[in-house]
Amino acid sequence: MNIRFGKLLRTFALPTLMSAGLLGASYAVHAQTPPPVGVRGAITAVSEDAIKVHTNRGEDLTIKVHKDTQVRAVTLAKLTDIKPGSYIGTAATPLPDGSLKALEVHVFPPAMAGTGDGHRAWDLAPKSTMTNGTVGDLVATNGRTLILKYKGGEKKIVVPDDVPIVNLESGDRSLLTVGIKVVLFAKKEADSSLSASFISAGKDGVTPPM
């Protein structure tokens, strides 16, 4: 290797190696970011900046509530509240024919259309998924079937008669009182504490089913 070629190699190779190192470090940081923690249960205590929840799994967790935490009210709804063009979400499990069997359905207000649009894994039951999208066809007979469309695809959803259907509405922290049932996904902070970016809280005795 002559001197000139060696200099050229160092000129191009060093930035490339540095970029690769930075990229690897970036991946490492993302890999170490813990996934959100699903919390479902009843509020047992409320303070200015936190709630305590006794979860359905028997745990007692403290969840930080900050100024940007959104609170959503969960109220009872019925199938007739869902129409073509409604924006909804549904946790569901797969059926042999490729369609989905709903475990619950929640109806978003028009102002929240587009929230969480798409289809992804969910933790409500084994192999469960969450699909948020716009209702296309809706058939209220023969098993109450609807077509849910989202960016990049669509899913056929079968909604059994006994599946809970709820509305999601804008709420505030006055909903967060002892005994209220909640569903939230908590972010794990560096100090291992948990904080919520949004909380779905049952109103008038409703248990959020999602």
Give the pLDDT confidence of 120-155 residue by residue, as tens digits: 999 999 999 999 999 997 776 555 899 999 999 999
Residues 24 and 55 in one domain: no
Token pair for 56? 């359905």
Residues 153 and 106 in one domain: yes
Residues 91 and 192 in one domain: yes
**Residues 49-89: pLDDT tens digits?**
999 999 999 999 999 999 999 999 999 998 888 999 999 99
CA-CA distance, 163 to 147, in Å (whole number)? 17
**Mean pLDDT of the region 178-185:** 97
| Helical (H) or strand (E) element with 94 | strand 87-94
**How many residues in total does the chain contain?**
210
Strand-strand pairing, 60-76 and 194-202:
parallel
Q: Is residue 207 part of a domain?
A: no
Residues 21 and 44 in one domain: no
| Residue 138 contacts residue 83 (beta carbons within 8 Å) | yes
Average pLDDT, the chain: 85
List CB contacts of 141: < 8 A, sequence separation 6 or more: none
**Residues 12-36: pLDDT tens digits?**
443 433 333 433 433 444 445 677 8
Instruction: Indicate if the pLDDT at residue 181 is higher than 70.
Output: yes
Cα–Cα–Cα angle for 38, 43, 47, nearest 5°?
A: 110
Residues 18 and 53 in one domain: no
What pLDDT is attached to residue 30? 44
Distance of CA 170 to the CA centre of its chain: 16
What pLDDT is attached to residue 80? 85
Residues 70 and 110 in one domain: yes
C-alpha separations of 144 from 34, 46, 84, 93, 156 in Å: 38, 40, 13, 16, 11
Can you give the residue range of the structural domain that contains 184?
37-202
What pLDDT is attached to residue 23? 36
Work out the burial of residue 148: count CB atoms within 10 Å of its CB; fewer than 13 is exposed, 13-18 middle, 19 or more buried: buried
Residues 123 and 178 in one domain: yes
Q: Find where tokens 């409500």 sit.
A: 124
What pLDDT is attached to residue 142? 54
Residues 195 and 100 in one domain: yes
| Residue 166 contacts residue 158 (beta carbons within 8 Å) | no
